[in-house]
Amino acid sequence: MKPNNTSHIFERYRQYLRLEKSFSANTLDAYCKDLDKLRNYLSGENIDMLEVSLDDLHHFIASLHDIGIHPRSQARILSGIRSFYRFLLLEDYIESDPTELIENPRLGIRLPDVLSVHEIDTIIASVDLSKTEGQRDRAILEVLYSCGLRVSELCNLKLSDLNLPEGFIRVEGKGNKQRLVPISPRAIDELTIYFEARSYIQPKHGHEDYVFLSFRRGTKLSRIMVFHIVKVQTELAGIDKTVSPHTFRHSFATHLLEGGANLRAIQCMLGHESITTTEIYAHIDNQRLREEIIEHHPRNIKYRREHGIG
């Protein structure tokens, strides 16, 4: 085993998270703060972090419970600790992983609200197209749903990321990982109409390539503004549910799964970390992925009916 130099070990772990795991600054800080809770506990118990036992970790978890930390937060802290000890094992600082047999605390099942296709349509239809920003807001809601994007991915979407003739957009997700996402004909139609209004906006320097702009400022839309748009339109539509941009993403995935789409294809399209590895992408052909999504997406089923496409 390697020598025990605590400061050196933690610095190497930070580099591992930043460079090899491609964690953002916020995620990296969160992992390190959670790990600090274990470090403080071990220090108080005079336990060497490289000699931690399963019992030590059970006592640590019990201490989290005693100070009132919610089971969901406990599970997050444990996730960071597992990551740290896997790193120690990988780098030959320890010979066995003490976290291997730890079970997560039991969590109450909390399912987020899901919108029906009718409710999605009602929210989108509530947009007042007579307003300057009306068509932009309508396109935002449609792209959120039809592509299952995170709000940050929508805000950072660029014109250069769009390949509308081929029915794809390029999305940069968590950890700067890029993926190709099929876009439905309905979303393409809404974007095309919005681009007519967008052509009258004078973007500020550095914002010229962003798809969704503020008509007043000429800058890309903020996350807060997208949350506001969703909130306002949900209220106008009379939908009595807690709805956020993520609700559109979750509803999108739920509707695809209910329609019979392949679960792995859905996860790949959503950019979930557990399946966005190179190996996974290598085994899911992009064209087959697009065909899977296009075939089962309720937007496309309705579009085919309206246009008499078999």
3-class SS at 249? Answer: helix
Exposure of 130 in the CB half-sphere (CA atoms within 13 A): 0
Does residue 22 contact residue 16 with C-beta atoms inside 8 Å? no
Question: Of 249, 255, 296, 297, which residue is the catalytic one?
Answer: 249
Catalytic residue among 18, 246, 264, 302: 246
| Of 252, 266, 263, the residue nearest 298 (C-alpha) | 252
Catalytic residue flag (residue 249): yes
- Catalytic residue selected from 170, 272, 302, 304: 272
- Count of residues for the chain? 310
Q: Which amino acid belongs to residue 195?
A: F
Per-residue burial over 253-290, b if 16 or more Cβ lie within 10 Å, else e, is: bbbbeeeebbeebbbbbbbeeebbeeeebeebeeeebb
Q: Which amino acid is at 145?
A: Y
The sheet carrying 162-163 orders its strands as: 162-163, 168-172, 178-182
| Residues in a beta bridge with 179 | 171
Active site residue 246: yes
Candidates 223, 281, 302, 303; catalytic one: 281
Straight-line distance from the first to the last Cα atom of the chain, in angstroms, rounded to the nearest whole number: 65
- The catalytically annotated residue of 136, 138, 150, 250 is 150
Q: What tokens does 211 get?
A: 């798809």
Known catalytic residue at 231: no
C-alpha dihedral over 132, 135, 136, 142, to 10 degrees? 160
* 150 part of the active site: yes
Q: Which residues are catalytic?
A: 150, 174, 246, 249, 272, 281
